[in-house]
Chains A and B, each alone.
Chain A
Amino acid sequence: MGATYLLEHIAGCFLFDEHLALVESGPPEGKEKEAFLKTHASAVPLSYPARAIQLRRALAAIASKIPKGGLRAANLARTRHDVKHAVSDDFLIVQAVKSIEDLDKVLNSLAIRLRDWYEFYLPEYSVSQPDHAEFVRGVVETTKEQFLSGKKTDSFGADLGKPHIAAMKQFAERLLGLYAAKQELERYVDSTMKTICPNLRAVAGSTLGAKLLEHAGTLKRLVELPSSTVQILGAEKALFRHLKTGSRPPKYGVLLAHDAVQSAPKGRQGRAARILADKISIAVRIDYFKGQFKGDALLEEARKKIAQ
Chain B
Amino acid sequence: MDGHIPALDLRRIRDDFPILSERVRGKPFTFLDSGASAQKPRAVIGAMVRMMETAYANVHRGAYHMSEVATEAYEAARGAVARFLNAGDVREIVFTKSSTEAINLVAHSYGRGVLKPGQAVVISEMEHHANIVPWQMARDAHGIELRVCRITDAGELDMDDLAAKLADGRVGLVAVTHMSNVLGTVTPAERIARMAHEAGAKVLFDGSQAAVHRRVDVQALDADFYVFTGHKLYGPTGIGVLYAKAALLEAMPPFLGGGDMISEVTFEKSIWAPIPAKFEAGTPPIVEAIGLHAAIDYVQSIGMAAIEAHERALVDRAMATLPHIEGLTLLGRAQDRGGVFAFALDTAHAHDIATLLDRAGIAVRSGRHCAEPLHERFGVESTCRASFGLYTTPEEVDLLAEALRQAREFFR
Asked if chains A and B come from one complex, the reply is no
Give chain B's interface residues, CB within 8 Å of chain A.
Answer: none
